[in-house]
Amino acid sequence: MSPSHAAPRTGAIISVLAAGGITVSLMQTLIVPLISSLPTLLHTTAANASWAITATLLAGAIAMPVAGRLGDLYGKRRVIVASALLLAIGSLVCAPANSLTPMVIGRSLQGLGMAVIPLGIAIMRDILPPQRLGSAIALMSSSLGVGGALGLPAAALVAQNLNWHALFWGSAGLGLLLCVLVLLIVPESRVTSPGRFDFVGAVGLSAGLVLLLLPISKGSDWGWTSGTTLGMFAASAAILLLWGWWELRSPAPLMDLRTSVRPQVLMTNLASVVIGFAMYAMSLITPQLLQLPAATGYGLGQSMVEAGLWMAPAGLVMMAISPLAARLSAVRGPKISLLLGTLVIASGYALALALMDSAWGVLIFSAVISAGIGFAYAAMPTLIMSAVPPTETAAANGLNSLMRAIGTSSASAVLGAVLGTMTVKLGPVTLPSEDGFRVGLFIGGGAALLAALVVLAVPGRRAGAHRLVDTPAGLDLVRAGA
């Protein structure tokens, strides 16, 4: 895209890619209002119905690094369109479903759409003017939280007032609309990586991730010391070690592990795991706290729609904070933005301990935590991209997104165990106790403080403070002032 044509279209490109991020993140909360009804709707057991959620998680985790490499090799826009198309197809499979098998297949295909977010960030690096890049990446990163926060009340309203199948017909329409908009508005990047696709590496990574994330997600049901859980963890470790051996010897690896262990990349990815944990802890605690009966003495007695509306402002805060986060990263460096984000998240959890007894209090502390997440998510892609070549941008962002997914999966397992163990009886019903919520909040805040310590290990106070320049090889990163 020539400079003369870039300026008028920049705003439209950013808007379409950010809308794509919101669309795919909606798929994470799309099914939440149906969780309690799924066994009846799908004529199955509660344990089996949970696969409709687990399948999306697993597919998304696998898709992000694999699709990232495909984007680097064959064109990022092409893979974004393919990901959005798979999301639409998955929605069409789910829409008429009345049994478990098509629902799990469709939800898996929907999960593959999660690759849109790291690919969108990568293509922004390649095609946007330097002065717009920081704010655009921050907005794209915030789309994950925005979609998740807005999706809950929207999905609850649809499920409450229309047939539940309408949720999936609507998501199919959004996926197809995204395909059309990307084809019409977003140009293809000219930055590609030489080489071929590493099928052995893709299969090995996928197998290793499934065997890692599946017991994390289902361990509380299977038992953490059961043979199935421990066997899968052991198999995952063995496969991932073999995968690493293969990647280090492959002439065209799926993922350049030598680049991935550079201190700036490694420590940012480790911080992503812990920040993903801290983010998801809030997502697990707040809706339950809002919806528990007031008769418990600490539940706030809100309906699903009301709870979603109380949580929605948090997503809007993430979007509103993104330009400020980009400006801070430009002036002080993304490491400072990331560190500030972790400290704001921790302060939000501290506030939560004092404000958890009212819906307004929940709104305030969730907004503070979301502001911190906004700073952190805006900074992480910049730190990653400043340490990898342009030809590896999508794969590196895919790996970073995977690290966040591992963090959210771990939070689900840990907080699920805490809230499932620390319970009270209300009549015949067993509910998470107030102490369980407080312990969960302490864990979330502790994760944020741990993330701050990890960020301090990222090299240099201004690590990642760069500007983009045009070079004959494409858009490249050079150190500011060089």
Query: Whole-angstrom distance between the N-terminal and C-terminal Cα of the chain?
Result: 26
AA identity, residue 249? R
pLDDT in tens, 391-449: 788 888 888 888 888 888 888 888 888 888 898 888 887 888 999 999 999 999 999 99
In this structure, are residues 88 and 176 in contact, taking their beta carbons and an 8 Å threshold?
yes
CATH of the domain at 357: 1.20.1250.20
**Mean pLDDT across 315-344:** 89
pLDDT in tens, 256-270: 888 888 888 899 999
Q: Residue 478 — pLDDT band, cuts 50, 70, 90?
A: very low
347 and 459 together in one domain: yes
Among 240-249, 291-300, 456-465, the range scoring the smallest mean pLDDT is 456-465
For residue 283, with 0-12 CB atoms within 10 Å meaning exposed, 13-18 middle and 19 or more buried, which class applies? buried
Residue identified by tokens 């293509």 is 123
DSSP state of 258: H
373 and 226 together in one domain: no
240 and 104 together in one domain: no
Query: Of the residues 214, 234, 253, which one is the last residue of a structural domain?
Result: 253
**What is the pLDDT, as a whole number, of residue 371?**
93
**Mean pLDDT across 162-173:** 89
Q: Output the CA torsion 290→293→295→300 (10° steps).
A: 20
474-479 and 429-432 beta bridge pairing: unpaired
53 and 85 together in one domain: yes
**Mean pLDDT across 26-43:** 82
- As a whole number of angstroms, the distance between CA 74 and CA 34 comes to 38
Q: Is the pLDDT of residue 4 over 60?
A: no
AA identity, residue 319? M
284 and 407 together in one domain: yes
How many helices (H) does the chain have, and how many strands (E)? 18, 4
Where in the sequence is the domain holding 244, given as residue range(s)?
198-253
Q: Phi and psi for 464 in degrees, rounded to 5?
A: 90, 0
164 and 227 together in one domain: no
Number of structural domains found in the chain: 3
Q: Residue 460 — pLDDT band, cuts 50, 70, 90?
A: low
**Mean pLDDT across 164-175:** 92
Q: Residue 476 — pLDDT band, cuts 50, 70, 90?
A: very low
286 and 210 together in one domain: no
Closest CA to 345 of 381, 317, 324: 317
397 and 455 together in one domain: yes
* Mean pLDDT, all residues of the chain: 85
**What is the pLDDT, as a whole number, of residue 204?**
93
C-alpha torsion sign, points 241, 243, 249, 255: negative
pLDDT in tens, 57-69: 889 888 988 998 8
Spell out where 262-305 has E strands: none
AA identity, residue 31? I
Query: Of the residues 140, 156, 189, which one is the last residue of a structural domain?
Result: 189
172 and 217 together in one domain: no
Q: Phi and psi for 205 in degrees, rounded to 5?
A: -65, -45
315 and 414 together in one domain: yes
**Mean pLDDT across 137-148:** 80
- As a whole number of angstroms, the distance between CA 370 and CA 366 comes to 6
Name the pTM for this structure. Answer: 0.85
202 and 181 together in one domain: no
- As a whole number of angstroms, the distance between CA 153 and CA 302 comes to 12
139 and 278 together in one domain: no
